[in-house]
Each structure stands twice: as structure tokens, then as C-alpha cells.
Amino acid sequence: MRIMMKKDYIKIWLAETRANFLILSVVLVMVGAAAAWHDGYFHPLFLLITTLGVVCAHISVNLFNEYSDWRTGIDEKTQRTPFSGGSGILQKRLLQPSQVKTAAWITLLAAFFMGLWLARVSGWPVLVFMALGGMTTIFYTDFLTKWMVGELASGITLGSFVVIGTYYVQTGMINAGIIWASIPPGLLTLLLLFLNEFPDIEADRAGGRRHLVIVLGKNRAAYLYTLLLLLVYAVLIGGIVFGGLPVTVLFGLATVPLALKASIRTLRYRLDNEMLVPALGMNVIVVLATDFLMAVGFVAG
């Protein structure tokens, strides 16, 4: 009986941390590490600490978000889907809000100390990535989502900066190639959050948020989603032409057919949350698969 209770407790925390989305952190680190491998650098210990640090930061922002949405009542009003609307753990009283808030700070501090160690062995630029990422983690839900910059800040810090930072930790340098390589993952992280905001627009508005979908409305936001997806692949090609990336990074283009399906469904069912859910799932696959295939492309190159 005690073993079963422990298993249930673990399942509750996995759901609360949105563990199924943490794979994003791993594939982002993979892109930066694969780019470093392509350029002749690989430090296994640095890679392990980087991965753990980024995952802890990702857990922290998820927990801060869950706590804030409980405090403001947003998650009481959302139409929960597998990809949006929160975990529902606090609403079911399976955990106490104080537990979630404490865990958010603990995981953020864990990421902080791992970042300090990486800065010591790699260089001070790690502190810049760490500071900006930490501020986004703390201020994302209560401030950035109200200032219409939440998606952009997340795309930069939990997207581009992870790729660049991982590369820097491995190589000790930042060049034009890794900057080009970091833009598609940054855009994809932005798009992951952006499309997941569609079903929650009314609850978010009632909770005082002012993100892009609220400001633009679903009609214009659906077209912006499509344009930004196209931009992901355009930048990927541009990185080959202008950034010196290996041609094999074009493996990332393999997700174009699914991206088109997600775009078409978003445009068609932007006002119908139930019919939009498959597009949210396609979007998650596009984000993770494109990042992963970019990493494979670097290794293959």
C-alpha cells in the first residue's frame, strides 16, 4: 500500500511539473551540443550539468506558472486539453500551493548553482544567459504575459539561449553559425506557447493577461502562427546559405508536411477549441522533431 502511495505521489509531481514537456529542454541542449560536436568539441560532464540545469529551470517556470494560475483563478476557468489549461493538480487539491511554490524556488536555485559551476569552468557569458533565463522564469507569468512579451521572452531564453549557451559551454566561443542555428529553435519554442494560448484566451483575459493571442484576436493570430512557421524553415535554409551550417541540418525540413497540416487546421478551426486540439498536438511534434532533426543534422554533418 505504501509503495502504491509513493507511486501515486510521483505521478502527481510528474503531472504538476508537466514532465511530458520537459523533453523540449533536452532537445534544445542536444542542438547546441551537436553543433559543438560538429565543430570538434565534446565535454560529457559539461553536457550533463547543462542538461540538468536547463531541465531544472524548465521545471521551475512550469511550477511558478501553475502556482500563479491557481492564485489568479485562471486554471479554474480554462477548458483543459492535453497541451493547455494547466495540470489541474492544485484544483483537485492533490498538492498544496505552498508545496508547489517551494518546489519552484528549489528547482530554480538548483539551476542557479549548476549555472554558477558552468560559468566557473566555461566563462562569464554563462552568467548572462543564466540571469536572463532566471528573470524570465520568475517574472514570466505575473508580468511578461501581461506586457505582450511572454512568448518572445520564452522563445529567446528557453529556446535560442539554451542552444547558444550549450554551444558556448562546450566550445568557449560564440560564432555566427550557432546564432543562425539558435533562431529556429527559439521561434519554435515561441510557437509552442503561442498556439497553446488559443484555447485559454478567455480565461487568460479574465485573469489579467495580455498576450499576443488576446491582443491580435484568434483570426490574426492564426495567420501569424502560419507566417512564423514558414519563417522557421526560411531561417533554417538561410543558416546553410549565410551561416555556414552543414547542409545536413536541412534534415529539419522533414517536418514541413506536418507543419502545413497544423497551419491549415489552425486557420480552419481557430475559433473551435475542440477541433483545434489536434493542431496543438501536431505543433508539439513539429517543435520537438524539428529541433531533434537539426541536432541529428549537425552530427551527420
Q: Which residue has the higher pLDDT, 84 or 291?
A: 291
Residue 1 has pLDDT above 70, yes or no: no
Residue 127 has pLDDT above 70, yes or no: yes
Mean pLDDT of 274-300: 97
Range of lowest pLDDT (28-37, 198-207, 240-249): 198-207
Q: pTM of the prediction?
A: 0.93
Furthest-apart CA atoms within the chain: distance in Å:
61
Q: 32: Cβ–Cβ under 8 A, 6 or more apart, which residues?
A: 50, 162, 163, 164, 165, 166, 167, 170, 178, 182
Report the pLDDT value the prediction gives residue 194, as an integer from 0 to 100. 95
Length of the chain: 301
Q: What percent of the chain has pLDDT over 90?
A: 74
Q: 248: Cβ–Cβ under 8 A, 6 or more apart, which residues?
A: 296, 297, 298, 300, 301
* Per-chain mean pLDDT for the chain: 92
Report the pLDDT value the prediction gives residue 238, as an integer from 0 to 100. 96
Question: pLDDT tens for residues 235-281?
Answer: 999 999 998 999 999 999 999 999 999 999 999 999 999 999 999 99
Domain with 250 in it = 2-300
Residue 6 has pLDDT above 80, yes or no: no
Distances (CA, A) of 186 to 17, 156, 157, 291: 21, 6, 8, 10
Contact predicate 128/80, CB 8 Å:
no
Report the pLDDT value the prediction gives residue 5, as an integer from 0 to 100. 66
**Number of domains forming the structure of the chain:** 1
Chain-centre distance of CA 272, in angstroms?
25
Residue 156 has pLDDT above 80, yes or no: yes
Residue 3 has pLDDT above 70, yes or no: no
pLDDT tier at 9 (50, 70, 90 boundaries)? confident
Question: pLDDT tens for residues 170-198?
Answer: 999 999 999 999 999 999 999 999 999 99
